[in-house]
């Protein structure tokens, strides 16, 4: 069971794939072992994690529950106290801990090359190339839970990507806690992208969430020249359109720098699509600050805005501030931002009507465009295929049909 970020999703899929390689079946109804990969990024995430573990214990009274991840690292005593069926384990030890609960003959023989592609796994394969964070945003505890930034050996990254490519994967998603900080013995993200493009000739590469200061001219050039081999979509966390709030969050850019970056991306890559994260109601956020965020959303033409109501996370500087924004104000601002984000998204969809994009076929006749919009197919298509499609029309639910 996975909670939290895209990196957690990749880690959870890796755990499942290794267990499947040992002939374990994924049983969602009556499992003997349940793995809960936890999240602690906000106070609300922490609360949701505790609730999830309690529900798993109630719904599966015979199961052993392996609790791992960020929340488990921060407050292990909370989960140990829930039940003697709970076992706390680091992510590197989850597979071995699970195997120790089954056939002892399998214990210690861990597969090195499990593939997360096939019926039980997503068709867009995520590869974690970086972990940890050297920043310390004032609302965030992840740098404590995951530690300092580390990067995976570039040859291991390539090997894992090739393994999934040969298994049929046609979209590789590079993920990390601070992806743009990837640096293995001088090999930066640009260099890794170049090798992936060269060595996976029929696949496209998607850059997952990446911090704005990490977008170099070299990365922009590579995307522009790749013809869609590197997806012309970036998820750039904004968090706020107010330079004052960004400074108080200890983000490493201001509103002007973010706006200039977006303008450059659209100028150099006209087909670019951008999505973002925004925190509403950060302590001290005024109506003027919030209006600057609304203005930024409209200017940047975000195709998708992930909206987070500020939630106090104990242990962070923002949590102890006395100028917390009242809940009713946060709720109203979230509603207004949600309405604007929906309007801007619709405008972006209209701009793409009649154009062609690569679409990766996923489940139930649905796919994902290069620009990260959802598509539904009117004809049967093969799961996992990467197809060039014309975005012919939008249905009544605002979904592209091809």
Report, as an integer, the average pLDDT of 61-68. 94
Residue 372 backbone class (left: φ over 0; alpha: ψ -120 to 50; beta: rest) = left
Q: Which residue has the higher pLDDT, 30 or 65?
A: 65
pLDDT at 329: 98
CA angle 308, 4, 20 (to 5 degrees): 155
Q: Are strands 400-401 and 393-394 parallel, antiparallel or unpaired?
A: antiparallel
Give per-residue burial for 145-171: e unless 16+ CB within 10 Å, then b.
bbeebebbebeebbebbbbbbeeebbb
Q: What string of DSSP letters covers 267-299? A: HH-TT-EEEEEEEES-TT--HHHHHHHHHHHHH
What average pLDDT does the chain have?
93
Structural tokens at position 240? 């706020």
Whether the Cβ atoms of residue 211 and residue 252 lie closer than 8 Å to each other: yes
Q: State yes or no: pLDDT of 104 exceeds 50.
A: no
Query: Can you tell me the distance from the alpha carbon of 15 to that of 163, in angstroms, rounded to the nearest whole number?
Result: 16
Q: State yes or no: pLDDT of 108 exceeds 60.
A: no
pLDDT at 113: 59
Q: State yes or no: pLDDT of 136 exceeds 50.
A: yes
When mean pLDDT is compared across 1-5, 81-85, 366-370, the lowest value belongs to 1-5
Q: State yes or no: pLDDT of 94 exceeds 70.
A: yes
Whether the Cβ atoms of residue 389 and residue 359 lie closer than 8 Å to each other: yes
> pLDDT tens for residues 163-190?
999 999 999 999 999 999 999 999 999 9
Whether the Cβ atoms of residue 231 and residue 205 lie closer than 8 Å to each other: yes
Structural tokens at position 9? 């999703």
pLDDT at 107: 44
Query: Can you tell me the distance from the alpha carbon of 402 to that of 399, in angstroms, rounded to the nearest whole number?
Result: 10
What confidence category does residue 260 fall into, taking pLDDT thresholds of 50, 70 and 90? very high
Q: State yes or no: pLDDT of 283 exceeds 90.
A: yes
Q: State yes or no: pLDDT of 308 exceeds 50.
A: yes
When mean pLDDT is compared across 37-51, 290-304, 382-396, the lowest value belongs to 37-51
pLDDT at 105: 45
Element (H, E) at 12: helix 6-21
pLDDT at 26: 81
Query: Can you tell me the distance from the alpha carbon of 340 to that of 388, in angstroms, rounded to the nearest whole number?
Result: 31
Whether the Cβ atoms of residue 293 and residue 278 lie closer than 8 Å to each other: yes
């Amino acid at each position: 069971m996975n909670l939290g970020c895209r990196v957690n999703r990749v880690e959870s899929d890796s755990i499942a794939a290794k267990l499947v390689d040992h002939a374990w079946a994924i049983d969602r109804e009556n499992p003997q072992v349940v793995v809960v990969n936890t999240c602690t990024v906000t106070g609300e995430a922490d609360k949701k994690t505790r609730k999830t573990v309690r529900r798993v214990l109630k719904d599966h009274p015979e199961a052993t529950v392996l609790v791992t991840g960020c929340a488990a690292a921060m407050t292990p005593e909370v989960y140990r106290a829930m039940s003697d069926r709970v076992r706390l384990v680091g992510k590197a030890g989850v597979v071995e801990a699970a195997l120790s609960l089954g056939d002892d003959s399998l214990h210690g023989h861990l597969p090195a090359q499990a593939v997360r592609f096939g019926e039980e796994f997503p068709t867009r394969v995520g590869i974690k190339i970086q972990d940890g964070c050297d920043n310390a945003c004032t609302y965030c505890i992840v740098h404590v839970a995951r530690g300092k930034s580390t990067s995976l050996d570039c040859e291991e990254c390539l090997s894992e990507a090739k393994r999934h490519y040969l298994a049929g994967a046609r979209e590789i998603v590079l993920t990390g806690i601070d992806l743009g900080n990837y640096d293995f013995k001088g090999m930066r993200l640009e260099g890794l992208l170049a090798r992936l493009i060269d060595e996976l000739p029929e696949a496209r590469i998607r850059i997952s969430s990446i911090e704005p200061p990490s977008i170099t001219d070299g990365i922009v050039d590579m995307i522009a020249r790749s013809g869609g081999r590197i997806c012309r979509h970036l998820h750039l966390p904004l968090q706020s359109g107010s330079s004052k709030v960004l400074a108080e969050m200890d983000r490493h850019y201001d509103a002007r720098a973010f706006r200039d970056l977006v303008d450059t991306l659209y100028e150099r890559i006209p087909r670019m699509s951008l999505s973002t994260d925004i925190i509403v109601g950060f302590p001290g956020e005024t109506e003027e600050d919030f209006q600057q965020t609304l203005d930024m959303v409209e200017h940047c033409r975000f195709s998708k805005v992930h909206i987070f109501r500020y939630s106090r996370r104990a242990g962070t500087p923002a949590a102890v501030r006395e100028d917390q924004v009242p809940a009713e104000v946060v709720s109203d601002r979230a509603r207004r931002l949600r309405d604007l984000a929906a309007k801007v998204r619709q405008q972006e969809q209209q701009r793409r009507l009649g154009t062609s994009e690569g679409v990766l076929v996923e489940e139930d006749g649905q796919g994902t465009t290069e620009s990260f919009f959802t598509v539904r197919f009117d004809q049967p298509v093969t799961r996992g295929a990467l197809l060039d499609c014309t975005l012919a029309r939008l249905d009544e639910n605002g979904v592209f049909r091809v």
